[in-house]
A and B are shown apart, each in its own frame.
Chain A
Amino acid sequence: MGILDKEFSDGNIVITKVEDLFNWARLSSIWQLGFGLACCAIEMMATSASHYDFDRFGVIPRNTPRQADAIIISGTVTLKMATRIKRLYEQMPEPKYIISMGSCANCGGPYWNHGYHVLKGVDRVIPVDVYVPGCPPRPEALLEGLLKLQEKIRHESLTKKQA
């Protein structure tokens, strides 16, 4: 990371790249939008609760998209909800990240064929960073997804646009 290892003898000065500092700050406090859709949301809440404790990774739910860094799409995205999700995403400030949690949000899940009301994957309306498979994923899987997102943010560039 470069922040702590390049220490001066003085102790009050560290040298790092702006990029590394920003990325470190961003990945250490991913505030998620307090937003749940279906049974995956129960699992997401379990991840937030004391046993799995999302907060130890700096993830706390915020109740407005204006103060959120990430949105976890936790559940079935209906067509009716998809338009609202798009609006919520647009209301979030940059940089913003999306975790698609569970089979429904990934690809429609069990509704892929006969779900007349289901959007077959939230990536049809908003760009997803991390897909977490499972139906629903266990809290460990969601934590893994978060760590993957952190890894992604750690290697972001301020100048070069990431794919």
Chain B
Amino acid sequence: MKTPDEIFDILKNNFNDDVIGIEKEQPTEPIIFVNPSAINKVCLFLRDNEELKFDSLMNLSGVDDANGEKVKDNDGSEIIKGGTLSVYYHLYSIKYKHKITLKTSTSREEPRVESVESVWKTANWHEREAYDMFGIIFNNHPDLRRILMPYDWEAGYPLRKDYKNPEFYQGMKVPY
């Protein structure tokens, strides 16, 4: 069993700049920041390393940090320019009974994160959900389609903070 600090040190020694830092000043468990273009390599290492053996991806979720600049749209509604979208990974080792949280942040305008589907198959649907709700594109995902919303949903990504619901979908009125 390893503490988050020990796990962070192991990662830092192996990945250097791709592992950005560790955040401990919050009520949750410590979070390790990782570069979005290296997350698949970091995750593969976490899974296969003999001391770590993170064999379970408990959860993968997208988050809209909404930390960009809030500007008024043409129709007066607020939209967010710039800032980041994030993906959180909650890992658990059944063998060693330790866990860790990873976070990776990507730009709101071009949100691209490497897929970890090849590391844990669980990630397949989780990443599809993050894509469906936040529009985060997972590079090298085998089947990146919407999973909850209709396939022909064109109004955007519903869990983004500046999402606007459409008036109609396939002739059906959407607002109350």
Contact = CB atoms under 8 A, between A and B. Distances in A.
B150 A80 contact: yes
B149 A108 contact: no
- Contact-residue size bin, chain B (C-beta under 8 Å from the other chain): 10 to 19
Contacts of A125: 172
Main secondary structure of the interface of A (DSSP, over half): loop
Size category of the A interface is 10 to 19
A147 to B, nearest CB: 30
B163 A116 contact: yes
A52 interface: no
B170 A113 contact: no
Interface string A119-133: 110001100000000
Contacts of B169: 79
Contact of B148 (A112, A113, A117): A117
A108 B170 contact: no
A83 interface: yes
A82 interface: yes
A117 B158 contact: yes
Contact of B165 (A83, A116, A124): A116
Contact of A82 (B163, B165, B172, B176): B172
Contacts of A124: 172-173
B174 A79 contact: yes
A117 B172 contact: no
A107 B175 CA distance: 11
Contacts of B172: 79, 82, 119, 124-125
Interface in A106-156: 107-108, 112-113, 116-117, 119-120, 124-125
Contacts of A83: 150, 170
B83 to A, nearest CB: 21
13 contacts: A79-B150, A79-B169, A79-B174, A80-B149, A80-B150, A82-B172, A83-B150, A83-B170, A107-B176, A112-B176, A116-B165, A119-B172, A125-B172
Given A79-B150, A116-B163, 20 more contacts: A79-B169, A79-B170, A79-B172, A79-B174, A80-B149, A82-B172, A83-B150, A83-B170, A107-B176, A112-B176, A113-B176, A116-B158, A116-B174, A117-B148, A119-B172, A119-B174, A120-B173, A120-B175, A124-B172, A124-B173
